[in-house]
Amino acid sequence: MFLIAILVVVAIAAEIIHRLNPWKKPEPAYEELVAQIKAADWYRKLAEDDVCRDILENDPHVQAFFPGPYEAQRLLTQEGYQLGLIDYVTEQAAKRKRT
């Protein structure tokens, strides 16, 4: 029981130190993340096509890929997440072009 109490106190102290860390870099604003996404090479390649650009700007499913800072950061850093968005946009563009 004593060991559990010590572990709880250490965990609380570590969380307080983590939150009050003055050297921690602040997280970028959501608008900055979206600007970085739109400046990425893969996004610009998609936006070159008019149909894909329309899907990127107006499709609610595309907006669901980065509704907040966590998802936007994920879209910038994780290639698999990027490929998911690219596949969705190209698939929707192919459907629009067929009709």
Is residue 16 in a domain? Answer: no
- Residue 82 located in a structural domain: yes
Domain presence at residue 6 = no
Q: Which domain holds residue 89?
A: 28-98
Domain assignment present for 59: yes
22 falls within a domain: no
Amino acid at 46: L
Q: Are 27 and 69 in contact (CB under 8 A)?
A: yes
Longest dimension (CA), the chain: 70
Q: Is residue 76 part of a domain?
A: yes
Question: What's the confidence (pLDDT) of residue 18?
Answer: 85
CA nearest neighbour of 56 among 30, 93, 83, 31: 93
- 29-87 pLDDT, tens per residue? 999 999 999 999 999 999 999 999 999 999 999 989 889 999 999 999 999 999 999 99
Helix (H, G, I), strand (E, B) or coil at 28: coil
Rounded to two decimals, the pTM is 0.70
- Going by pLDDT thresholds of 50, 70 and 90, the confidence category of residue 8 is very high
- Does some domain include residue 58? yes
In a domain, 35, yes or no: yes
Residue 75 · residue 37 · CB < 8 Å: yes
Cα angle at 27 between 75 and 54, to 5 degrees?
Answer: 35
AA letter at 40 = A
Number of domains comprising the chain:
1
